[in-house]
Chains A and B, each alone.
Chain A
Amino acid sequence: MDFVQNFPFMSIILSLFSGPLSSILSGKWAKRVNTAVIVIIGIMSACVLGYVTGTGEEFIYYMGHFPAPWGNEIRVGELEAFMALFFCAIMLLSMLGGTKERLTQIEDSKQNLYYIMVNLLLCSLLALIYTNDLFTAYVFVEINTISACGLIMIRQNGRTFEAAIRYMIMSLLGSGLLLLGICFLYSVTGHLLMSNIQQQVQLLAASGEYHIPLLVALGLMSVGLAIKSALYPFHSWLPDAYGYSTVSSAAILSSLVSKGYIFLLIKIFYRVIGFEIVCDSKVIHVLYVFGIMGMIMGSVNAIQENNIRRMIAFSSVAQIGYIYMGLGLGTEAGVVASVYHVLSHAATKSLLFVAASGLTDASGGKVRFEDLQGAGYRHRLAGIAFTVGSLSMVGLPMFSGFISKLLFSQEAVGHNHKMLPTLIALAVSTVLNAVYFMKTVITIYMPAPKDTEADRQGRNIAMAEQPGKSVALICFIILNLMLGLSSEPIIHLIQNGLEMFY
């Protein structure tokens, strides 16, 4: 066994233990530890990615060297390693982008708590990505929920408490359903390890036994994870949670946490049930329909919003709709498109949150559109970054959103029944995206009328004043352009990774 094979496990453990470690450190040091941990894990994930790409096949890591079915397994393929790397990168940039807000919005005594939560969140995300055991996945889903809840409520005001409790309630509903689904699956197959379950499910599917329980289990798990990742119409918790928490939290929550669940769902589809069986079931049609509705309704809600943060949050609902729509297409290429959109949305949404915070900074902390007039001039970098993010969301060529749109529609064209609804929904949703994102872009480049709130509150912010945010924004922009301009290797990687899932 190569030493590199230990890295996935080590990265989980590292982040897990850096959590408790942070609790005895001061805020400043906790931050340093956290940054270091993320960087180290990123590097390790990169090594793993290199290794897996080199060998060309996935590897299984036995926890405590117990082989299945007794031991717990970690299973690492190209896609997992890449996801881990990507999540680390996004997390690092999101943390960087929200440095100043964290200092001002979080009580000094609770600074280090924040980093505990972030570390735990990273740990649970990594576990969700790597684990090959359904029950482990459940446990880490709960850990993920708790730490995410902590991230929301760390900025202590009424709004965040309410958002946190709503988030908790919805998440618990989701995880309850997930757990029940896992129990069903266990009772039918008698296994908890994904690969073993899949063998059994294949046998059952071939024999036709336990058809309904399997379907129910699949349905419960899908719905559970859909609730947790805020698929329309289970999105009611989302705008508050993203809209009022501190910037890094919003960025991380929107771009990573929900994506972790989606990734788990894809793993369940591929690894646990088997993609053909999933496609034969009706579940994907349901996901498809909700996905399409989400694409439209999320945007409609966003259009009505007058608060820039909440608007971005509602846009997440729409984007998650895209992802589920891709899954619902029920083809390999559809899933590739979805995974690509996971990446693209993660990169773009965190960029938007960070940029929006830059804009509000330049407008005296106000988040309403009328106060944001001219913010694009007061904080130039944030303005540019917001524009880039918006264009990507609208799906302009050159930016990442275009590629995922391209992939989605190219895949949809091959379908018989789902083609037209998909294409039309894509077009309509593009228009709606344009309506609210571009309206915002135009607003921030509209000079504030003299002697109004926006004019008096606003102050110019130079790039050097917020180094963390500036660096983060620049990196985000580069990342976005990279995804948009040289997507081919990444798509290739996703395809390879999905191959390895079989």
Chain B
Amino acid sequence: MNLTNLMNNYVEAVAMILFGIGFTNLLLQKNLIKKIVGLNIMDTATYLFLALKGYIDGRKAPVVVDGVQSVETYINPIPSGLVLTGIVVSVSVTALMLSLTIRLYRRYHTLDLDEISTLLRKEGK
């Protein structure tokens, strides 16, 4: 493994870096909204990675516009399909997270998870 390999696969590297950023944000941020942003970065990084794996230089998206051409014309459609599914999942999860965040904010008027924990402990429940 040397630098040229890294340069040739810089997109993968970017995807990994993004994933790392998202992961750390999700794990370490205190603010719930920032956590959710982190989550989305993480997911997006994965999709970037997937899409990259399916992409073949100089080919078209596997969308049939004017009749089916030879297999050589299109890029691999499966990763694209996976990305689409992933986005759906990601969206629903994000929605759930956001709704939970709203609930918590209404109740405790803060977005800081640690603060919420402290408040809860004070409530003594």
Contacts and interface: CB of A to CB of B under 8 A. Distances in A.
A166 B93 CA distance: 14
Nearest to A186: B53
B19 A180 contact: yes
Nearest to B35: A169
Given A146-B92, A158-B120, A180-B19, A164 B85 contact: no
A176 B35 CA distance: 13
A165 interface: yes
B70 interface: no
Interface string A172-188: 11001101100100110
Contacts of A173: 23, 26-27
A173 B108 CA distance: 25
A176 B93 contact: no
Contacts of A166: 113
A142 interface: yes
A158 B108 contact: yes
B36 to A, nearest CB: 9
A114 to B, nearest CB: 16
Most B CB contacts (10 A, CB to CB) among A168, A172, A179 go to A172
A149 B98 CA distance: 13
A159 B46 contact: no
Nearest to A184: B49
B75 interface: no
A146 B119 contact: no
Interface in A110-161: 135, 138-139, 142, 145-146, 149, 153, 157-159, 161
B121 to A, nearest CB: 10
Contact of B85 (A135, A157, A158): A135
Interface in B1-53: 19, 22-23, 26-27, 32, 35, 39, 42-43, 46, 49-50, 53
Nearest to A69: B78
A142 B92 CA distance: 9
B97 A165 contact: yes
A146 to B, nearest CB: 6
Contacts of B49: 180, 183, 187
B62 interface: no
Contacts of A244: 125
B114 to A, nearest CB: 10
Interface residues of B, number: 37
A350 to B, nearest CB: 24
State the main secondary structure of chain A at its contact with B: helix
Given A168-B100, A179-B86, A186-B79, A162 B117 contact: yes
Contacts of B85: 135, 139
Given A186-B79, A187-B53, A179 B46 contact: yes
Interface residues of A, number: 29
Nearest to B117: A162
B93 A183 contact: no
A183 B100 contact: no
A142 B89 contact: yes
Nearest to B92: A146
Given A149-B96, A158-B125, A180-B49, A165 B104 contact: yes
Contact of A159 (B19, B92, B113, B120): B120
Nearest to A167: B100
A173 B120 CA distance: 24
Given A173-B27, A176-B43, A186-B79, A162 B120 contact: yes
B53 A162 contact: no
B82 interface: yes
Interface in A175-221: 176-177, 179-180, 183, 186-187, 192
A260 to B, nearest CB: 17
Nearest to B99: A153
Contacts of A164: 100
5 contacts: A158-B107, A161-B107, A164-B100, A169-B26, A173-B27
Interface of A: 135, 138-139, 142, 145-146, 149, 153, 157-159, 161-162, 164-166, 168-169, 172-173, 176-177, 179-180, 183, 186-187, 192, 244
Given A165-B113, A172-B39, 11 more contacts: A142-B93, A149-B96, A158-B104, A162-B113, A165-B32, A168-B93, A168-B100, A173-B26, A179-B46, A180-B49, A186-B79
Interface of B: 19, 22-23, 26-27, 32, 35, 39, 42-43, 46, 49-50, 53, 78-79, 82, 85-86, 89, 92-93, 96-97, 100-101, 103-104, 107-108, 113, 116-117, 119-120, 123, 125
